[in-house]
């Protein structure tokens, strides 16, 4: 799979355009990073409709952690990856091929056009890691200052 053929949401969902209005949707490796086991996968059914940026499903991991899945486009579900529902671990093994979630008929091609390209998604991830590092450094500095104040008393 060439990741340059995909579009991405900030919620770590990928979208592959199949034809003018049909897309395949899945989750990125980033969404399931550091997950050892997926114990449950909840997805909509064929015929269900969902709206861009609203939750459409969720993954539950062994820790337990729940990851909500947010719709990258508005549309109607035309196919669900039933194999994935039976064996959710496939998602960890191959999130871009065998681990796809849904095939959707989009209502508006603009939703797809507004998603990030692979390069934009990579930039987004780099910015996100920088922000996390800065937050950790700030938390460490605050903790050090509090420790110093306690020592003074």
Q: In this predicted model, what pLDDT tens digit does every residue of 113-133 receive, in sequence order?
A: 999 999 999 999 988 755 555
What's the token pair of residue 74? 């508005």
pTM, 2 dp? 0.81
26 C-beta neighbours (distance < 10 Å), count: 24
Task: For residue 107, give Cα distances in angstroms to 21, 49, 73.
Answer: 7, 10, 8
For the segment 12-31, what is each residue's pLDDT rounded down to a tens digit?
A: 999 999 987 999 999 999 99
């Amino acid at each position: 799979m060439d990741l340059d053929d995909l579009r991405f949401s900030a919620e770590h969902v990928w979208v592959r355009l199949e034809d003018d209005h049909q897309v395949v949707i899945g989750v990125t490796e980033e969404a399931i990073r550091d997950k050892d086991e997926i114990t449950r996968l909840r997805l909509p059914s064929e015929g269900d409709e969902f709206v861009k940026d609203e939750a459409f499903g969720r993954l539950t991991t062994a820790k337990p952690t729940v990851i909500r899945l947010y719709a990258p486009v508005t549309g109607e579900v035309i196919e669900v990856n039933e194999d994935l529902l039976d064996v959710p671990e496939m998602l960890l093994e191959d999130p871009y091929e065998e681990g796809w979630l849904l095939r959707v008929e989009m209502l508006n091609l603009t939703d797809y056009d507004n998603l990030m390209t692979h390069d934009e998604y990579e930039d987004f991830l780099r910015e996100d890691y920088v922000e996390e590092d800065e937050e950790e450094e700030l938390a460490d500095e605050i903790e050090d200052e509090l420790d110093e104040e306690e020592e003074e008393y």
